[in-house]
Amino acid sequence: MSESVRLSKRLAELVPCSRREAELYIEGGWVSVDGEVVEDPHFRVLEQQVVLHPEAVLVPVEPVTCLLNLPPDADPDVDTMQALIGADNLFADDPAGVRILKRHFLQQTCAAPLQAGASGLVVFSQDWRVLRKLNEDAHKNEQEYIVEVRGEPTAVELASSGFAALPAKVSWQNETRLRMAIKNPQPGQVVQLCESLDLAVLAMKRIRIGGVSMGKLPSGQWRYLAPHEKF
C-alpha cells in the first residue's frame, strides 16, 4: 500500500461493516492501531495493524457529566478547573463504570458555579439536559455547603435562634462548622447570610447539588455522573 487511507475505511474493509459502523467503533474506543487505541475515524493509516476489540459494541458515544472535587487552594478559573479532569485524576473507585474516552474531555461546560472562595463539588457536562437542569432550572436546585465560621461566643450561642429567619436550611455540624442548604444561592449569598449572624466565614465547601452528592470523592479528583444519579 503506497497511500494512506482513513482508519474508518480500513476498518470497514477488515470487519467488514459499513463506514458509519466503523466510525462508531472507532469513536467508542474499540479500535487500536499497532496496539494504541485511536478514537479518530479520520486517522490515516498505511501498513499498521488495525484491530477491533473482541468485546466491541456498536452504540453511539453518549455525552457525559463529570463531577470534580475542587481543592481549597485551586484556581477557580474555568479552564484551570477543567484541566483537572483527565485520565490521571479519575477516581479509582468511580462507581459509574464508564469507559474513559478522549472525547469525554471535549466541549465540556461548567454549570452551577461555586460561591466565590469555595471549594468542593464542581460540575462539567456535555449533556444539554444536565446543563438545562443546572442553569435554566437553577431556582429549583438546592445546593449544600459546609461553612467553617468564626464568631463571638454570644453570636454563636444566639445564631441558632436566627436560623429560622434565613432563606436557607441551616444547622450546626460542630462548634465551628455550619451545614447550609439553599436553593440557587446568588453570588456572595452564603457569606452574607453568615455575616447577618455576626459569623465570619473562614472556608466553604459545596458537597451536594440537588440529588447528587460528592460522596467520598477525594480532593483534586473527579468521577463520572452515574446513570442513576439525578440533579
Average pLDDT over residues 71-82: 92
Residue 92 pLDDT class (50, 70, 90 cuts): very high
Q: Which of 72, 73, 68, 95 is nearest to 83 (CA)?
A: 68
Tell me the fold of 62-231. Pseudouridine synthase (3.30.2350)
Torsional sign, CA 211, 217, 221, 224: negative
Find the range with the poorest average confidence among 12-16, 95-99, 214-218, 224-228. 95-99
Please state whether beta strands 5-6 and 65-70 pair in parallel, antiparallel, or not at all (unpaired). unpaired
Residue with cell 472535587: 69
pLDDT (average), residues 88-108 = 93
Are residues 199 and 177 in contact, defined by beta-carbon separation less than 8 angstroms?
no
Over residues 144-167, mean pLDDT: 79
In whole numbers, what is the pLDDT of the chain averaged over residues? 92
Q: Where are the domains of the chain?
A: 5-52, 62-231
pTM: 0.86
Q: What is the pLDDT of residue 156?
A: 66
pLDDT in tens, 199-227: 999 999 999 999 999 999 999 999 999 99
Helix (H, G, I), strand (E, B) or coil at 135: helix
SS3 content of the chain, % helix, strand, coil (to 5): 25, 30, 45
pLDDT one-digit tens code per residue, 111-125: 999 999 999 999 999
Asked if pLDDT for residue 1 goes beyond 60, the answer is no
- Phi and psi, residue 206, nearest 5°: -85, 130
Provide the pLDDT for residue 153: 62
Residue 144 corresponds to which cell in the numbers above? 449544600
Specify the 3-state DSSP secondary structure of 124.
Answer: strand
Asked if residues 36 and 21 have their Cβ atoms less than 8 Å apart, the reply is no
Give every CB contact of residue 182 below 8 A, 6+ residues apart in sequence. Answer: 142, 143, 145, 167, 168, 169, 189, 190, 193
Helix extents (H) in 15-86: 19-27, 78-83
Q: Do domains 5-52 and 62-231 have the same CATH topology?
A: no
Give the residue-averaged pLDDT of 76-91.
Answer: 93
The pLDDT of residue 71 is: 97
**What is the average pLDDT across 84-108?**
93
pLDDT category at 7 given cuts 50, 70, 90 is: very high
**What's the fold here for domain 5-52?**
3.10.290
Which pLDDT value is given to residue 158?
Answer: 64
Q: Which SS3 state, helix, strand or coil, does residue 15 take?
A: coil
How crowded is residue 87: how many other Cβ atoms within 10 Å of its Cβ?
Answer: 10
Return the pLDDT at 164. Answer: 75
Res 165 pLDDT > 80: no
DSSP conformation class of 90? B
